[in-house]
């Protein structure tokens, strides 16, 4: 059944892609000006992952999204179709493969290849409206491997929002300052709103020639109002070219969800540094050093019998993890090779080859990304 479902998804993906390609070719013959405004881009990726001193049977992996399978594994095919005129346009961002499936985990069968799907209107030089499904504005990392320096992803990215569906307005305040306001469905419910609750989003940004900084917010009920209390998240994302060859990025986040009665709020917070040094035109070496912590069972889920969490936690529901990832990025034309060594440390959260509980996990990943 799974093979048949995957095959049907692939056929659907191919038919959509061929349909768009055929339409584009016809449009090119009939209206060269229209075709000039159309774009196709995307990526294809895969990886190899090996645990050092721990089982390699897909039962042990860092508690983060993507790149968690052992041995040789698939990433995704990502095809982004776009059209942009002077005032209006659209983006259809389609994904197929393991990484893409994880990215759209709350989608039904009808939309499991849709990563983003939105239209936009440039009302003026300073105001832009976007309506539809778009990837989140919070955080340093993104779903597409092309947009990240490290191939594996951070805890802050993995447990922050992935995507939103709603309406947002972007404002250019002057040549350096920007702002954004949004009203959206509960986080990651991209096809519809089953709860009749909404999330508010906001962003203040600063951009100049040497880098940028964005202060992001979201607030609202992430489910039925009588079942959950509001969630608040504040997130800082910034990156600067310190020198011509040295770059430093920083991501900090804090999330809190109120609980009913006298129970304290629960959530998580974290900080990550992203220093990168360019050694040549083709090779860059970078580090991601992340501290991530949950409090009052902020990431704990239960099946009614057992409790699960990506990091260890004590009786109060508090826990923390430190993850250090060293990544090299080697460009060969449009092909990017990313070898990386990652060490995750969290009290009694992993096992070794003898299936004994241990506090750290070392893993090696070799990612390959082709962008077009």
For residues 341 and 310, the model is more confident at 341
> Which two structure tokens, joined as six digits, stand for 328?
């090299």
Alpha-carbon torsion (62, 65, 67, 73), positive or negative: positive
Nearest-10 Cα torsion for 28, 32, 38, 43: 50
* Residue 250 burial (CB count, 10 A): 16
Instruction: Please give the mean pLDDT across all residues of the chain.
Output: 89
Q: Which residue has the tokens 């349909």?
A: 19
At the second CATH level, the architecture of 130-371 is Beta Barrel (2.40)
Mean pLDDT of the 64-75 span: 96
Q: Which residue has the tokens 């404002």?
A: 171
- Who's near 127: CB < 8 A, 6+ residues apart? 169, 170, 171, 172
**Cα separation, 192 vs 183, whole angstroms:** 14
pLDDT at 213: 98
Q: In this prediction, what percent of the chain has a pLDDT beyond 70?
A: 88
The tally of CA atoms less than 13 A away on the side-chain side of residue 360 is: 10
**Cα separation, 356 vs 177, whole angstroms:** 53
Contact 230, 197 (CB under 8 A): no
pLDDT at 369: 98
Q: Is the pLDDT of residue 17 over 70?
A: no
Q: Is the pLDDT of residue 109 over 80?
A: no
**Cα separation, 222 vs 345, whole angstroms:** 30
Give the β-pairing of 114-122 and 127-135: antiparallel
Q: In this prediction, what percent of the chain has a pLDDT beyond 90?
A: 73
* Residue 300 burial (CB count, 10 A): 16
**Cα separation, 362 vs 11, whole angstroms:** 38
Contact 272, 154 (CB under 8 A): yes
**207-253 pLDDT, tens digit each:** 999 999 999 999 999 887 777 789 999 999 999 999 999 999 999 99
**355-369 pLDDT, tens digit each:** 999 999 999 999 999
> Which two structure tokens, joined as six digits, stand for 257?
């969800």
Q: Is the pLDDT of residue 263 over 90?
A: no
Q: Is the pLDDT of residue 21 over 90?
A: no
pLDDT at 312: 84
Kindly report which listed range (60-74, 101-115, 247-261) carries the lowest average pLDDT score: 101-115
Q: pTM of the predicted model, to two decimals?
A: 0.88
Nearest to 350 by CA among 68, 58, 154, 62: 62
The tally of CA atoms less than 13 A away on the side-chain side of residue 142 is: 12
Nearest to 182 by CA among 170, 173, 193: 170
pLDDT at 353: 94
Contact 360, 70 (CB under 8 A): no
In this prediction, residue 306 has a pLDDT band, given cuts at 50, 70 and 90, of low
Q: Is the pLDDT of residue 77 over 90?
A: yes
Strands (E), 103-151: 114-122, 127-135
Contact 324, 150 (CB under 8 A): no
For residues 192 and 214, the model is more confident at 214
**156-184 pLDDT, tens digit each:** 999 999 999 999 999 999 999 999 999 99
In this prediction, residue 26 has a pLDDT band, given cuts at 50, 70 and 90, of low
């Amino acid at each position: 059944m799974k093979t048949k479902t995957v095959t049907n998804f692939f056929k659907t993906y191919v038919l959509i892609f061929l349909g768009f390609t055929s339409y584009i070719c016809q449009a090119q013959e009939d209206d060269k000006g229209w075709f000039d405004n159309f774009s196709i881009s995307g990526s294809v990726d895969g990886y190899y992952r090996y645990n050092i001193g721990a089982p390699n049977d897909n039962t042990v992996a860092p508690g983060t999204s993507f790149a968690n399978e052992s041995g040789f594994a698939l990433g995704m095919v990502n095809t982004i179709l776009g059209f942009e005129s002077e005032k209006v346009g659209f983006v259809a961002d389609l994904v197929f493969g393991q990484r893409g499936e994880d990215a759209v985990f709350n989608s039904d069968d009808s939309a499991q290849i849709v990563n983003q799907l939105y239209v936009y209107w440039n009302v003026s030089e300073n105001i832009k409206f976007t309506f539809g499904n778009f990837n989140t504005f919070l955080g340093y990392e993104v779903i597409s491997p092309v947009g990240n320096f490290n191939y594996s992803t951070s805890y802050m990215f993995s447990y922050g929002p992935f995507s939103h569906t709603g309406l947002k307005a972007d404002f250019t305040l002057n040549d350096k300052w920007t702002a954004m306001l949004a009203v959206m469905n509960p986080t990651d419910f991209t096809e519809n709103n089953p709860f009749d609750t909404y999330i508010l989003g906001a962003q203040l940004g600063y951009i100049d020639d040497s880098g940028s900084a964005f202060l992001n917010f979201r607030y609202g009920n992430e489910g039925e109002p009588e079942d959950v209390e509001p969630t608040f998240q504040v997130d800082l994302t910034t990156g600067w070219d310190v020198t011509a060859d040295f770059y430093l990025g920083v991501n900090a986040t804090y999330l809190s969800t109120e609980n009913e009665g006298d129970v304290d709020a629960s959530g998580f917070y974290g900080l990550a540094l992203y220093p990168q040094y360019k050694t040549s035109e083709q090779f860059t070496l970078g580090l991601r050093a992340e501290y991530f912590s949950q409090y009052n069972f902020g990431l704990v889920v239960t099946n009614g019998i057992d409790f699960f969490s990506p990091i260890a936690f004590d009786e109060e529901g508090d826990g923390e993890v430190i993850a250090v990832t060293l990544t090299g990025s080697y460009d060969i034309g449009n092909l990017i090779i990313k070898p990386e060594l990652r060490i995750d440390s969290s009290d009694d959260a992993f096992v070794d080859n003898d299936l004994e509980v241990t506090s750290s996990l070392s893993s090696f990943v070799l990612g390959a990304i082709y962008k077009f």
